[in-house]
Structure 1
Amino acid sequence: MTTPLPGQPVRGSTSGRPIMALLDLLGRRWSLRILWELHQGPATFRDLQARCEGLSPSVLNTRLGELRRALLVEIGESGYCLTADGEELARRCLPLAEWAEHWASRLPAPEK
């Protein structure tokens, strides 16, 4: 599977529109989690895998490659980190995280 990039057909769309490429990329298993974890700070491969409990090394390697080709993640001195575009994307996700906290506060407590 190729990295979804603007101007190319992606899963669910042949239009090449940038939003469709972004939705395809972020809709892949673990992509958003990896971005969110790297928003917390740089991480080595092993650290990132530990932060993303249950993520296999092969899937992590694949997703990191896709996110690097999309110019959202790079390798820095401290390990993997977000690029300026990756940081911007994470910042734009913050309102969604705030909404999720509000939503969670309105739901009944889970049964044990």
Structure 2
Amino acid sequence: MNIPKPGGSVRGSKSGKPIMALFDLLGRNWSMTIMWYLKEGQKSFSDLEKKCDGISPTTLNTRLKELQTTFIIEKVVDGYKLTELGEELFNLFEPLRKWANKWAKNFN
């Protein structure tokens, strides 16, 4: 498993810059969706599998391992939850969401 980490080459960049590693991680299929559902609270593997309608168990397992290895989520007794770092990251999405909505108006 090739997990994007700061300091290394990632998809789309060989710079090693932390932001590029983060964009690679978040740009992977289902990563943001998993985070979105974990923002609601702790979820089991089967809860996430149901919420991420269409995700294969293999892909879900891979994304969970990547997000754990990169300190965004953590495994707990009954499933998974965002770490403090993951919560902080998720809260940074709100200004981006607002900007994206403003940007989307250009396409109407």
Q: Determine helix, strand or coil for the equivalent of 1:6.
A: coil
CA separation of 1:15/1:37 partners in 2, compared to 1, >3 Å: closer, same or farther? same
- What's the offset of the Cα at 1:42? 0.6
* TM-score after normalising by structure 1: 0.85
Give the Cα–Cα distance (whole angstroms) in 2 for the partners of residues 8 and 105 of structure 1: 36
- In structure 1, the gaps of 5 or more residues are none
Q: How large is the Cα RMSD of the aligned pairs?
A: 2.1
Q: Which range moved further: 36-45 or 89-98?
A: 89-98
| Count of matched residue pairs | 108
Give the Cα–Cα distance (whole angstroms) in 2 for the partners of residues 102 and 37 of structure 1: 24
Q: Determine helix, strand or coil for the equivalent of 2:20.
A: helix
Q: Does 1:83 align with 2:65?
A: no
Q: Determine helix, strand or coil for the equivalent of 1:85.
A: helix
CA separation of 1:105/1:88 partners in 2, compared to 1, >3 Å: closer, same or farther? same
Which structure 2 residues correspond to residues 1-112 of structure 1 after superposition, within 5 A? 1-99=1-99
Structure of greater Rg: 1
CA separation of 1:53/1:8 partners in 2, compared to 1, >3 Å: closer, same or farther? same
CA separation of 1:41/1:103 partners in 2, compared to 1, >3 Å: closer, same or farther? farther
